[in-house]
Amino acid sequence: MGLSLSRKIIARAAGRRSVEPGEHVLVTPQKAMTYDPQAGPLQRRLGQRWGDTMRLWDADRVILVADHFLAADDPAQRRKQEELAAFARRFGVRHFYPVGAPNHGVCHALLPEEGLVRPGELIAGTDSHSSTYGGFGAIGLNVGVDAMEGILAIGEHWMEVPPDLRIVVEGRLPPDVTAKDVILKLCADLCGTRAAFGAAIELDGDAIQALHPEEKLTLANMAQEIGARWLVIPPDRTVCAWVAALTTEPFEPLQPDRDATYSQVLTYRGEDFRRMVAPPGGPERAVPVGRAAPTGFNEVFVGSCTGAKRHDMEVFFGALLASGGPAPGVAVMLAPATRRTRDWVLADPARAALASAPGVRLAEQPGCDACAGIYGFIADDRAVRLSTANRNYAGRMGAPGAQVFLGSPTTAALVAATGRLSA
């Protein structure tokens, strides 16, 4: 009996030929990522439980990223950055991306950009959107501090093999439909369903494989919004070539077996997808733009690991420049996911002029910014905001009264240009 892609990756990490849903297995992740919210607590726990002389299981497979607490004028947030740096010094972590590094920013955009996500790997991370790595044919395993402590100390993690849900999108997507629209549609269809909850989603089909590699990261990023354990896309030649251009390390991609079994298989037609928008309250409330209630917007936020990668910014700037720039009364807030992407924005005179136009603000430091509601372009009660991020629960971006809608970079550009949604 064949194996799904998820079960193949888990079996490889467990040193086994096969695994089955419901089994508990001991895996060794290829990499472990944590960031400024967790570095201090993890260092204290490691010292208390394992002693001051302990070493990490493999410091070269640990990745530390600064992205959540970047307000330099806030002593508590500065302390988080100091704790992250202390962790890197204490344990000799080579893959350390502090503020001011040649490239830094949101962990889930940074790791793929730095060639640290490779097909066939199992990568553990202390963030719910670690599933992002599934866009490159890896498993992004979200773990808590307890589990990460064990991984850092001994390199092992005890996990349950989840059931597999396969979703196939056949045919072609309409020209104006992007990965964000696809994943919002899946959120609306599958959130809260028994088929998706706690599942390992395998997303495939011609319409999916035709997407840009970074679009596939967007799809995998929002697995938690569906309620799944993760989402993984079988890596095609384009993704493998993309990754090979970013890393000198060898990798061995895996593919699902043709006779793999799944708890359920769902099939969609790409031609049936439409541009989507999620009204305030959650991604699962997403509807086609043409069915959304008429809304006037005063803000557009282009940011997060979901919506501010290089490709996202290319789409946004291309559409907004073609539309003639932002409409009066619409504040446009740009928070590129990484330093490399921010530099790309400013490298072109047309983009740089737009980024400095009246009503447009460009974040000085790449990072999570308002997506995490901790610093940056925080929304107030007057905000009616179109966001390219992954969540829009009440208070997520700031004031509980802020009205935050979710959409793609294309939709964000159209809202910025007109102040309203248009089908």
Same domain, 163 and 192: yes
Residue 97: which pLDDT band, with cuts at 50, 70 and 90? very high
pLDDT at 380 over 90: yes
The arithmetic mean of pLDDT across residues 244-248, rounded, is 97
What is the distance between the alpha carbons of residues 217 and 355, in angstroms, rounded to a whole number?
25
The arithmetic mean of pLDDT across residues 222-228, rounded, is 97
In a domain, 413, yes or no: yes
φ, ψ at 14 (rounded to 5°): -95, -5
pLDDT tens digit sequence for 291-331? 999 999 999 999 999 999 999 999 999 999 999 999 999 99
Q: What one-character DSSP code corresponds to residue 338?
A: B
Same domain, 131 and 34: yes
Range of the domain at 391: 278-418
Domain boundary among 206, 238, 268: 268
Same domain, 193 and 152: yes
Same domain, 286 and 201: no
Closest to 341 measured CA to CA, from 305, 299, 389, 377: 305
The strand order across the sheet containing 62-65 reads 95-97, 62-65, 31-35, 122-125, 139-142
In a domain, 304, yes or no: yes
pLDDT tens digit sequence for 383-392? 999 999 999 9
pLDDT at 422 over 90: no
What is the distance between the alpha carbons of residues 284 and 394, in angstroms, rounded to a whole number?
14
| CB-CB contact of 237 with 201 (8 Å) | no
Same domain, 248 and 331: no
| CB-CB contact of 279 with 285 (8 Å) | yes
In a domain, 138, yes or no: yes
pLDDT of residue 52: 83
Same domain, 258 and 320: no
Domain boundary among 268, 288, 311: 268
Share of the chain above pLDDT 90, in %: 98
Q: Which residues pair with 153 in a beta bridge?
A: none
pLDDT at 55 over 80: yes
pLDDT of residue 21: 98
pLDDT at 59 over 70: yes
In a domain, 273, yes or no: no
Same domain, 235 and 325: no
pLDDT of residue 53: 87
Q: What one-character DSSP code corresponds to residue 294?
A: P
Residue 113: which pLDDT band, with cuts at 50, 70 and 90? very high
Q: How many CB atoms lie within 10 A of CB 78?
A: 14
Same domain, 402 and 292: yes
Same domain, 255 and 347: no
pLDDT at 341 over 90: yes
In a domain, 322, yes or no: yes
pLDDT at 208 over 90: yes
Same domain, 137 and 206: yes
The arithmetic mean of pLDDT across residues 348-377, rounded, is 96
Per-residue buried b or exposed e for 85-110, using 16+ beta carbons within 10 Å of the residue's own CB: bebbebbebebbbebeeeebbbbbbb
Tokens of 423: 């089908």
**CATH number of the domain where residue 334 is located:** 3.30.499.10
Same domain, 253 and 160: yes
In a domain, 110, yes or no: yes
Q: How many domains does the chain have?
A: 2
In a domain, 80, yes or no: yes
What is the distance between the alpha carbons of residues 198 and 224, in angstroms, rounded to a whole number?
9
pLDDT at 423 over 70: no
Mean pLDDT of the chain: 97
In a domain, 423, yes or no: no
Domain boundary among 237, 268, 299: 268
Same domain, 238 and 359: no
